[in-house]
Amino acid sequence: MSDANPAGDVLLELCNLRTWYPAGRGVLGRNTEWVKAVDDVSFTIRRGETFGLVGESGCGKTTLGRSILRLERPQSGQVIFDGEDVLSLPPSRLKQVRRNMQAIFQDPYGSLDPRMKVRDLIAEGLVVQGEMRRDERDARVAELVDVVGLRREHLDRYPHEFSGGQRQRIGIARALALRPKFVLADEPVSALDLSVQSQVLNLLSDLQVEFGLTYLFIAHDLSVVEYISDRVGVMYLGRIVELASAEALYDDPRMPYTQALLSAIPGSEQATGRKRIILGGDVPSPLNPPSGCPFRTRCWLARDVCRDVVPPLREVKTDHFAACHFADEF
Amino acid sequence: MADSVAPLLDVQNLHTHFRTRAGVVKAVDGISFDVAPGASLGIVGESGSGKTVTSLSIMRLVEPPGFVAAGRILFRGQDMVGLSEREIRRIRGSQICLVFQDPMTALNPVYTVGAQVAEALLAHQDMDRATARERVIELFQLVGIAAPERRVDEYPHKLSGGMRQRVTIAMALANEPQLLILDEPTTALDVTIQAQILDLVRGLRQRVNTAVLLITHDIGVVTELCEQVVVMYGGRIMERGTVAQVTADPKHPYTMGLLASMPTRAIRGQRLAAIGGAVPNPLRMPPGCPFQPRCLQAMDVCGADPGLRDPGDGRRVACWLY
Contact B192, A260 (CB under 8 A): yes
Distance of alpha carbon B115 from alpha carbon B117, whole angstroms:
6
Cβ separation of B263 and A226 shorter than 8 Å?
yes
Banded model confidence at residue A281, pLDDT cuts 50, 70, 90 = confident
Q: How many CB atoms lie within 10 A of CB A212?
A: 11
Distance of alpha carbon B226 from alpha carbon A151, whole angstroms:
42
Residues in chain A closer than 8 A to B265 (CB atoms): 226-227, 246-247, 250
- What burial class does residue A115 get, using C-beta atoms within 10 Å of its C-beta: 0-12 exposed, 13-18 middle, 19+ buried? exposed
Residue-wise pLDDT tens digits, A59-104: 999 999 999 999 999 999 999 999 999 999 999 999 899 999 999 9
pLDDT at B169: 92
Stretch 36-75 of chain B: residues touching chain A, C-beta under 8 Å: 46-47
Residues in chain A closer than 8 A to B220 (CB atoms): 265-268
CA distance A149 to chain B (A): 11
Cβ separation of A282 and B193 shorter than 8 Å?
yes
**Whole-prediction pTM:** 0.89
CA distance A118 to chain B (A): 19
Q: Which residue of A has its CA nearest to B281?
A: A163
Contact A12, A68 (CB under 8 A): yes
Is B275 near chain A, with CB under 8 Å? yes
A-B contacts at Cβ under 8 angstroms:
104
Banded model confidence at residue B144, pLDDT cuts 50, 70, 90 = confident
Between residues A1 and A14, the one the model is more confident about: A14
Q: Which residue of A has its CA nearest to B278?
A: A196
Tell me the pLDDT of chain A averaged across its residues. Answer: 91
- Please give the average per-residue pLDDT across A45-57, as a whole number: 95
Contact B240, B314 (CB under 8 A): no
Nearest to A229 by CA among B208, B265, B280: B265
Nearest to B94 by CA among B71, B119, B111: B119
Cβ separation of A282 and B275 shorter than 8 Å?
no
Contacts 24+ apart (CB under 8 A), B241-247: B241/B313, B241/B314, B241/B315, B241/B316, B242/B315, B243/B42, B245/B313, B245/B315, B246/B315, B247/B219, B247/B223
Cβ separation of B160 and A282 shorter than 8 Å?
yes
- Please give the average per-residue pLDDT across B195-205, as a whole number: 89
Contact A141, A155 (CB under 8 A): yes
Residue B1 has pLDDT above 70, yes or no: no
Cβ separation of B278 and A196 shorter than 8 Å?
yes
Residue A117 has pLDDT above 90, yes or no: yes
Contact B143, B199 (CB under 8 A): no
Share of chain B above pLDDT 90, in %: 76
Residues in chain A closer than 8 A to B160 (CB atoms): 282
Distance of alpha carbon A17 from alpha carbon B206, whole angstroms:
48
Q: Which residue of A has its CA nearest to B216?
A: A193
Between residues B151 and B3, the one the model is more confident about: B151
Banded model confidence at residue B270, pLDDT cuts 50, 70, 90 = confident
Cβ separation of A246 and B273 shorter than 8 Å?
no
pLDDT at A196: 87
Residue B2 has pLDDT above 60, yes or no: no
Residues in chain B closer than 8 A to A266 (CB atoms): 194-195, 198, 218, 220-221, 223-224
How many angstroms separate the first and last alpha carbons of chain A?
27
pLDDT at A3: 45
CA distance B276 to chain A (A): 8
Q: Which residue of B has its CA nearest to A203?
A: B271
Is B301 near chain A, with CB under 8 Å? no
CA distance A203 to chain B (A): 9
Residue-wise pLDDT tens digits, A235-244: 999 999 999 9
- Please give the average per-residue pLDDT across B186-207, as a whole number: 88
Banded model confidence at residue A108, pLDDT cuts 50, 70, 90 = low
Residues in chain B closer than 8 A to A252 (CB atoms): none
Q: DSSP letter string over A53-105?
A: EE--TTSSHHHHHHHHTTSS--SEEEEEETTEEGGG--HHHHHHHHTTEEEE-
Q: Nearest CB to B272: which of A202, A222, A267?
A: A202
pLDDT at B308: 95
Distance of alpha carbon B199 from alpha carbon B190, whole angstroms:
14
List residues in chain A touching B: CB distance below 8 A: 56-57, 163, 165-166, 193-199, 201-202, 205, 220, 222-224, 226-228, 246-247, 250, 260-261, 263-268, 270-271, 276, 278-279, 281-283
Q: Nearest CB to A264: which of B162, B192, B218?
A: B192
CA distance A227 to chain B (A): 5
pLDDT at A288: 83
Residue-wise pLDDT tens digits, B152-185: 999 999 888 889 999 999 999 999 899 999 999 9
Residues in chain B closer than 8 A to A198 (CB atoms): 261-263, 272-275
Cβ separation of B279 and A163 shorter than 8 Å?
yes
Residue B297 has pLDDT above 90, yes or no: yes
Cβ separation of A265 and B191 shorter than 8 Å?
yes
Residue-wise pLDDT tens digits, B99-137: 988 888 889 999 999 999 999 999 999 999 999 999 999
Residue B266 has pLDDT above 80, yes or no: no
Residue-wise pLDDT tens digits, B17-52: 999 999 999 999 999 999 999 999 999 999 889 999
Among A7-16, B70-79, B210-219, the minimum mean pLDDT is found in: A7-16
Tell me the pLDDT of chain B averaged across its residues. Answer: 92
Stretch 204-243 of chain B: residues touching chain A, C-beta under 8 Å: 217-221, 223-224
Phi, psi of B265, rounded to the nearest 5 degrees: -70, -25
Cβ separation of A201 and B263 shorter than 8 Å?
yes
Cβ separation of B221 and A266 shorter than 8 Å?
yes
Cβ separation of A267 and B224 shorter than 8 Å?
yes
Q: DSSP assignment, residue A190?
A: T
- Please give the average per-residue pLDDT across B256-268, as a whole number: 86
Share of chain A above pLDDT 70, in %: 96
Residue A205 has pLDDT above 50, yes or no: yes
Q: Which residue of A has its CA nearest to B198?
A: A266
- Please give the average per-residue pLDDT across B194-201, as a whole number: 90
Residue B295 has pLDDT above 90, yes or no: yes
Distance of alpha carbon A187 from alpha carbon A217, whole angstroms:
7
- The packing angle between helices B129-142 and B113-124, to 10°, is 110
Cβ separation of A205 and B271 shorter than 8 Å?
yes
Q: How many CB atoms lie within 10 A of CB B137?
A: 18
